[in-house]
Structure 1
Amino acid sequence: MPRSLPTPLRTLNDGLTDLDRRLFDAVAESPSPLLDLTMRPLSSAADHSKLWVLIAAGLESSGSLSMRRGAIRGLATLAVTSLVVNQGFKRVYPRNRPLSDGVPLSRLRRQPTSNSFPSGHSASAAAFAIGVGLENRNAGYLLAGLAGAVGLSRVATGAHFPGDVLAGFAVGAGVAIAGARMIPPVDDSRILIPGPTTEQLDPNPDGAGLVVVLNPASGDGTGARVADELRASLPAAEIVELDADDDIDSIAADAAARADFLGVAGGDGTVATVARYAIGADKPLAVFPGGTFNHFARDIGAATVAATVKSIQDGRVARVDAVWLNDDKLLLNTASIGAYPEFVRARTRYQRRRIERPTATMHAILKVLRNSAPVNVRIEGRPTTVSFFFLGNSVYGAPSFLPGRRSRLDDGVLDVRYLEDGHRNATTRLLSSWISGRIRNSKVYRELQAPVVTIESDEPFRVAHDGEAGELYTRARFRVAYRELRVFGKSML
């Protein structure tokens, strides 16, 4: 019968097989005293996983929680991998062991009788090393080197082709990764936050007892639309509309004194002002998104008027954190020093000239880039020069100098991130560390999370907060008021 014509797949298989044999000959027949001395004992030590069981016992007795978890995960991953290799792959893909004629006698071992593909020793080594490394990174690095040496020993002693070893590593790694998806490793650095604090009030279908302080000019006229929606949805609610000359503090204080529930519609600055009086009266606050960005309203699940109305009608209240600046100014979202306050002030000046917000924003950015200067401060007593400083109420997204959104508003910490000035090639170093995902190791970028943060300086510095340009300080002490504010909404808790 004529031999079938070669196909691209057969050609590839033949080429890989030939390469595999050549690599085997190069390693197994290498006249190396070091290989002669170490490979046979190492390969024997890994028989029946004796080496890994012994190491696991050492990790278990180390006293480190992560090492103990690593020992258990490593052995469990090894056991599953052995089952997959011996009862699966070796039965599906039979392959003869390599001929060991050229292997030095000092390394040669009695050949196993099972199929050669894949290497069970290599699969177990990779499974154990990666399993341990998922729980303790440093131990994983050390064991990865040992696992690689075990794989090499299987070739050097004539037990496997290099392809068998690589396939074994792949199987062991795959089982370890699959195990991590099924049972995620413990993150010892993760902050464990108590469950949300909620309360259930009586249903309130028409908004009885609700007094809403509303700024009709906020959000470029959004406030007026919110007023119309509120009158239609909550007819029993009282709406107090602010005029340009009104004293919002006195109006908010009066509303809090006579209301059962306090409401506010406006930008984040207006919301923070009214929230102060809601805290003082210990009354739930209903936040209606009437500003431009509505950061706080979105994060408590009140992104629309309808969402807040539904929470009031259902009587659903949650407690969230607030932040006090020097114990007299309330913040709900963020504060910053350095370039950002100057940006806010410049944008406000441009908008007062009746320039549209997007255009005003662009002009402000260009002005700040040209003229802003770093600020010399002491953060928790540590002298530094900052070009950008961000402080958030609760943790904002992943590490970055451009923070994302909050996933919680009740974790009890301040999220501080800043850029230090004065480093050589600071911009290049910052961008490279950001792109590579190693920004926390950058010398330019700093961060900390704490319930209290104090910033001091010999010269006054401006603190912007919740979208407002803010005031000048020589000492700014930020303190979290843990779950002090009661809000209507399905908050991101």
Structure 2
Amino acid sequence: MSDSSATQPVDTVRDRVTTRLSAWDREVFHRVATRHWPGGDAVLPRLSHAANHGLLWFGTAAGIAVLGRGARSRRAAVRGVASLALASAAINTIGKRSVRRARPVRDAVPMVRQLKKQPFTTSFPSGHSASAAAFATGVFLESRGWGAAVAPVAAAVALSRVYTGVHYPGDVLAGAALGVGAAFAVRGIVPTRSQLPAPGRPHADAPALPGGADLVVVANRGSGSADQAALVRDALPRAEVLECEPEDAGQAMEKAAASGRCRALGVLGGDGTVNRAAAVAARYGLPLAVFPGGTLNHFAYDLGIESVHDTCRALAEGDAVRVDLGRFTPGPDGAAHGYFVNTFSLGVYPELVRLRERWSPRIGGWPAGVLAAWKVLRGEHPLEAEVHGRHRPMWLLFAGNCVYRRMGPTPGRRHDLADGLLDVRVVHGGRLPGLRLLAAALAGPLSKSPVHAAEKLRKVRVSGIAPGTSLAFDGEVTQAPRELLVDKDDEALTVYRPRTGP
């Protein structure tokens, strides 16, 4: 049998399938076009127009970020937009050029449904459907609640493209499939929190405190967590919640821990407040319950705690882990040691924090941060100090409590809060500190660079520090001594954390 006779049946089958799919596509399109949908004429064309250039989804992402509480909502918004961007790029560069399909004939579509401005690109696949599916899927992969809220709107946008007569159903299905694929491709590049290994090890025994029995929670009013304090009271009716001014929070923690009336210490506030609570809890051997109530909440989020309910779930079950504490000796205000749960730094960052805190009450946090960075980076006087006996000028010496890893292309979080290591980064002195710091940020974990060095160490000894030099730890700023040792207190703290992810 010749090759042509062998391929003829295959071609015939393929042609029949294509013909049937095309006939089905046109039949469904005709049914949608001729059927009256209650309320559709008023809603669907407007919704289709609103989705032009992704404007509907950008607005939705802004709403999710503003109205949603916590980092999960913000991540869902960012992931949705990133998925949409990838889907749009794939549609415009490959999809529209691969199949040159003409738009449907709109004779059967009532004029009231038709768009005032008709699209001029080819019909296959539907870009609106791809963007809608990509955004909704991206949001759902990070937050099921927001994903469920967005999904009906995305489905309505996809339906509107057939309803207004600009796409066949097959175009919409293909676009939606491409959009879903784009969202999963983004997840492959930047994993969701649920995909990452649970931070903190090993598992530690801690008392189960259902309803917050025998728990004292110190809430920092200065962190703006009044609403969260009420939420803690509602969720843990048996807990004692003490709302304090920032200057009184440390003393309240000491009194609660020393009184013997609590089996665990709770803290509601930002990373600076958590720092004080961690030092007290470690000193008295109490497990710590962290409720995210600050602006950034790095420590809580790296534990996998994103809401009050996450901590309540861990308290009810007695689920906890042991984590490291970073330590610097001597500590502030004459203390033997100072501790940090996130970061320690010398150089430009402490000065930036000091200026930001001075200006933020007058102009707000973000503007104050921008102006402080501009002022600090105009300077030409790097920190002069000896690191392990070697003298060097530095713009920044950074030590992280445990190793910070990337989430995709950006530095993100710590996967292990008990690895016994310091993540040490140095930005060397020289001209143009702003460019050097930017280069260091882009370099990420690279260990060798003309401007940046990164090492994983157990301890760092710094000496020859000039009088008046500031150091920062977990956002707090104090005066640095002439010399100090930065090291780790391994698995010094027990922290409640739900065994399963959020």
Shift of 1:431: 7.2
Shift of 1:243: 3.0
- Distance in 1 between residues matched to 2:374 and 2:387, nearest whole Å: 28
- Residue 226 of structure 2 aligns with which residue? 224
Compared CA separation, residues 244 and 316, structure 1 to 2 (3 A): closer
- Residue 453 of structure 2 aligns with which residue? 446
Structure 2 residue corresponding to 1:421, chosen from 424, 429, 434: 429
- Residue 480 of structure 2 aligns with which residue? 472
- The total of aligned residue pairs comes to 295
- Residue 297 of structure 1 aligns with which residue? 300
1:66-107, CA deviations, whole angstroms, 9 ceiling, x for partnerless residues?
Answer: xxxxxxxxxxxxxxxxxxxxxxxxxxxxxxxxxxxxxxxxxx
1:275-322, CA deviations, whole angstroms, 9 ceiling, x for partnerless residues?
Answer: 111111111000111111011111112221111111101110100000
SS in 2 for 1:217: helix
8 Å CA contact 2:404, 2:411 repeated in 1: yes
Compared CA separation, residues 452 and 244, structure 1 to 2 (3 A): closer
Q: TM-score when scaled to structure 1?
A: 0.55
Describe how 1:141-290 pairs up with structure 2 within 5 A. Answer: 196-218=201-223, 221=224, 223-243=225-245, 246=248, 248-257=249-258, 258=260, 259-290=262-293
8 Å CA contact 1:301, 1:492 repeated in 2: no
- Residue 497 of structure 2 aligns with which residue? 489
- What CA RMSD, in Å, does the superposition of the two structures yield over aligned residues? 3.1
- Residue 186 of structure 2 aligns with which residue? none
Structure 2 residue corresponding to 1:462, chosen from 447, 470, 495: 470
Please tell me the residue identity of whatever aligns with 2:466: E
Gaps spanning 5+ residues in structure 1: where?
5-193
8 Å CA contact 2:411, 2:444 repeated in 1: no
8 Å CA contact 1:339, 1:372 repeated in 2: no
- Distance in 1 between residues matched to 2:328 and 2:353, nearest whole Å: 19
1:302-359, CA deviations, whole angstroms, 9 ceiling, x for partnerless residues?
Answer: 221111111101110100000121142111100111111111011111113x211111
1:51-79, CA deviations, whole angstroms, 9 ceiling, x for partnerless residues?
Answer: xxxxxxxxxxxxxxxxxxxxxxxxxxxxx
- Distance in 1 between residues matched to 2:244 and 2:376, nearest whole Å: 33
- Distance in 1 between residues matched to 2:232 and 2:344, nearest whole Å: 31
Compared CA separation, residues 364 and 314, structure 1 to 2 (3 A): same
- Distance in 2 between residues matched to 1:341 and 1:420, nearest whole Å: 16
Please tell me the residue identity of whatever aligns with 2:201: P
- Does structure 1 residue 311 correspond to structure 2 residue 319? no
Please tell me the residue identity of whatever aligns with 1:250: Q
Shift of 1:492: 11
Describe how 1:40-59 pairs up with structure 2 within 5 A. Answer: none
Gaps spanning 5+ residues in structure 2: where?
5-198, 330-335
Shift of 1:365: 1.2
Please tell me the residue identity of whatever aligns with 2:288: L
- Distance in 1 between residues matched to 2:453 and 2:300, nearest whole Å: 28
Shift of 1:429: 8.7
1:108-128, CA deviations, whole angstroms, 9 ceiling, x for partnerless residues?
Answer: xxxxxxxxxxxxxxxxxxxxx
8 Å CA contact 2:422, 2:457 repeated in 1: yes
Structure 2 residue corresponding to 1:329, chosen from 319, 334, 338: 338
Shift of 1:197: 1.7
Q: TM-score when scaled to structure 2?
A: 0.54
Compared CA separation, residues 458 and 330, structure 1 to 2 (3 A): closer
SS in 2 for 1:206: helix
Q: Report sequence identity in percent.
A: 37
Structure 2 residue corresponding to 1:344, chosen from 328, 331, 353: 353
- Residue 72 of structure 1 aligns with which residue? none
8 Å CA contact 2:200, 2:416 repeated in 1: no
8 Å CA contact 1:426, 1:444 repeated in 2: no
Compared CA separation, residues 212 and 277, structure 1 to 2 (3 A): same
Compared CA separation, residues 245 and 454, structure 1 to 2 (3 A): closer
Structure 2 residue corresponding to 1:405, chosen from 410, 413, 430: 413
Shift of 1:393: 0.1
Shift of 1:372: 5.7
Moved over 3 A (4+): 200-203, 425-439, 490-493
Higher radius of gyration, 1 or 2: 1
Compared CA separation, residues 245 and 408, structure 1 to 2 (3 A): closer
- Distance in 1 between residues matched to 2:276 and 2:406, nearest whole Å: 29
Shift of 1:238: 0.4
Compared CA separation, residues 285 and 372, structure 1 to 2 (3 A): farther
Compared CA separation, residues 243 and 197, structure 1 to 2 (3 A): same
Please tell me the residue identity of whatever aligns with 2:382: P
Shift of 1:217: 2.5
